[in-house]
Amino acid sequence: MKKISRRDTLFYITLASVAAGLPAGCKTDDKAEAGQEGHENMHDNSDGFKNLSEEDKLLLQQKFFTDYERETVRVLANRIIPADEKSGNAEQAGCVPFIEFMMLDFPEEYEIQTKMRGGLAWLNAECMKRFNVDFATCTETQQNNVLDDIAYPDTAKPEMSHGVEFFNLFRDFTAFGFWSSKMGIEDLQYMGNLPNAWDGPPQAWLEKLGVAELI
């Protein structure tokens, strides 16, 4: 059986979420759609924000992450979705400003900001404890040493629970950010809603997801 890469796994997770009608990790209110539109403008580096509300335009001008945190976000996002022969990495797709926008946009009662900021601090502290350097400064092998301990909830040790929760949150934002971008949509080869022209996902994708058929 062909081994599925980490990138392919995220691809199938996103595909399943789209098939279910909700993007992974996305809010379901109108502001989520505004965040999506702002995200696309970030990707295209265009100056047109005509579809955004004034509130969301202001959000795009604000910062949530410190420079130190943003560097950790950049490096971690690129480890989750690296460049391949089809497209660029998470950073090139605009995931860093997208994640920052979503942090600013989430209502405080969800405590997403606290979980994100606390998780970044946990990741850097864990790397300092193991290697005496922060995550962004670690070698790829050292980064893998930590990420392998938090990327798989079913096998993670109890003492890694905070890291597991953070990594799952961060991975969802990164995956949604990438595959909702212009680059990610091209990676998916999504052509939009064509009347009478879509027969559902290819059977091979359904089999990989363990789904016999979509109802």
pLDDT 10s digits, 9-42? 445 544 444 344 334 444 434 433 433 443 444 5
DSSP assignment letter at 150: H
The pTM is what? Answer: 0.67
Has residue 18 been placed in a domain?
Answer: no
Window from 4-8, 71-75, 115-119, 205-209 with minimum mean pLDDT: 4-8
Confidence check: pLDDT of 59 > 80: no
Has residue 133 been placed in a domain?
Answer: yes
Has residue 68 been placed in a domain?
Answer: yes
Domain region containing 140? 25-192
Indicate the number of domains in the chain.
1
Most confident of 10-14, 190-194, 208-212: 208-212
Residues in the chain: 215
Has residue 184 been placed in a domain?
Answer: yes
Continuous H helices in 21-160: 30-44, 54-60, 67-80, 90-93, 95-105, 112-131, 140-150
